Amino acid sequence: MNLRHPLFLLITLCLGFASSAQADVYKYKDAEGRTYLTDKPMEGRHYRLVKRFRFGGAEVASSDTWAELRARRKKLTPLIEAAARDSRLRPALVHAVVRAESAYRTDVVSSKGAVGLMQLMPATAVSLGVENSYDPQQNLRGGTRYLSKLLKMFDFDLQLALAAYNAGENAVISYGNKIPPYPETQRYVVKVLAFYDEYRADNKLAQR
């Protein structure tokens, strides 16, 4: 069987979705009209998102494209770097969290009421002094302060800090300072770490 055949790729991706409800699927049509599906779009080709997916509970429209995500990231990079610097975090980590939480969208609201780039819950936003969670600068400064607080709380264990960011610090503490056995939280930690590795690799290449 041709492993690049669209039908084979579709079956493979669907099997993967059975274990991960947060997969991101992109479609690419080549010059000969053949369609390819992937969860890792390549640069230089016009991929389009064809499956609805969730970033930290905030649903992203299926019309979104990889190019549009990159454009939003580029626009927000100065604010992300400033917020990361103020909270003594690596920009690549903040980028990873923002991408996982909102795909760099400032206007998303999750089903639980979390708002904006770093998906701040209303009570959390108030505790961080954030008056408008839709404002990217306020959201980033509040979110990075919260993430920095969690890192200190869990002795700079990044996995636990990310789990706490997703599920709350009390959930992590109640499970003996371990990642809670929540599928959503476990997928979230894996996703953010993967994005973090990707952005760190990009930074190393850019510095050469």
Catalytic residues: 101
**Cα–Cα distance for residue pair 34/162, rounded to 1 Å:** 39
Q: Are 90 and 84 in contact (CB under 8 A)?
A: yes
Residues 6+ apart with CB under 8 A from 174: 180
- DSSP designation for 28: E
Other CB atoms within 10 Å distance of the CB of residue 163? 27
Q: Would you state the structure tokens that stand for residue 121, as one six-digit string? A: 């819950």
Give which of 36, 161, 154, 38 is closest to 94, Cα–Cα: 161
With residue 38 as reference, give the H or E element that holds it.
strand 35-38
